[in-house]
Amino acid sequence: MIKVCPGCGSTLQFKDKNAIGYSPKKDAKFCERCFKLKNYNVKEVVDLKYTNEDIINLISNKEGAIFFITDFLNISNKVINTYKKINHHNKYLLINKVDYIPKSISKNNYIDYIKSTYNVNGNVILISALNKYHLNELINLITSYKNSYICGYTNSGKSTIINEICNSFGKKSNILTSLMPNTTLDLIKIRLDENIHIYDTPGFVNDFEFDINSFPKKFIKPITIQTKPNDILKLGSGIYIKCDDETNSFTFYVSDLIKVKKVYDEEVSITNRFDIDENSDLVIYGYGFINIKNKCQILINTNNCEIRKSYF
């Protein structure tokens, strides 16, 4: 009987230590990589079996429903375009971690904003695994399908959502929750009852550097900085933004672990120029977004960003 690691979905094998699914013990439940992650928090990055296009093709032809998870801070054209590529008639966009949405924001209006800004047709649902916001509604949806496929970019929170779904059915899940990219390497089938199954899928891979500090530990408190001509702002350990020759207001929606400040004595090459319209968001992939109030030009030292009309 072929055994599958319940942590990452890889077929267990006992011969090649350098290949995925390896375990030194033939009676092991987990592969060595997942065992170390589960018991010692040792994180090992391995080669991936699927590209993003492979994952899209893999789930687009499946019967049942597709639940694509992203989170409040990481919504972008890059993410939404991946969601749109999934060709399936039962498809849901789940915006996770709504705990981080400022309380002043109407959640219904925010859904309308997402649909309008990114031209999203169909179902958009706000959820939270932390406080179980709309979790029962999600579970009711899942029970209306025999098979449901849970997908999303790395660290979107899909493993946490899956574990909460399993808990609601009285099932123990072995899905590993970790901030390590690409914990899930293959499809993992989970039986909820005799007629209902969910599948954890490999995470879609970002093409920018992973920063563990970009994932908040608590409710996000926006940080506003008033800028003067030619001020330089530093986000985290490596993002620099140079303001143009007008005063402006920058409000940062980023993790509480990411430091935001003005700098005066650091030399850095800032060459990427963006034209910002009035009241726009600068979305920086993997970090969050910055609401910029006045029309301006900025220089920034990364291309991993985009501009959108702001909700605020």
Interval 221-243: pLDDT, tens:
789 999 999 999 999 888 999 99
Picking from 166, 200, 234, the residue at the C-terminal end of a domain is 200
Which of 202, 160, 68 is closest to 123 using CA atoms?
68
155, pLDDT greater than 70: yes
**CATH code where residue 100 lies:** 3.40.50.300
E strand residue ranges, 202-295: 223-227, 232-235, 239-242, 248-254, 260-263, 272-276, 280-284, 288-292
Supply the pTM of this predicted model. Answer: 0.82
Interval 251-300: pLDDT, tens:
999 888 889 999 987 778 888 999 999 999 999 998 899 999 999 999 99
Interval 58-94: pLDDT, tens:
899 899 999 999 988 889 999 999 999 999 999 999 9
Residue 134 resides in a domain: yes
Domain of 184, in residue numbers: 48-200
Distance between CA atoms of residues 118 and 93, nearest Å: 12
* Radius of gyration over every alpha carbon of the chain, rounded to an integer in angstroms: 21
Do 58 and 39 fall within a single domain?
A: no
Do 32 and 101 fall within a single domain?
A: no
Residue type, 91: K
Do 36 and 52 fall within a single domain?
A: no
Do 62 and 131 fall within a single domain?
A: yes
Do 116 and 194 fall within a single domain?
A: yes
Distance between CA atoms of residues 169 and 155, nearest Å: 24
| Mean pLDDT of the region 39-59 | 77
What total of structural domains would you count in the chain?
A: 3
Do 2 and 66 fall within a single domain?
A: no
Residue 205 resides in a domain: no
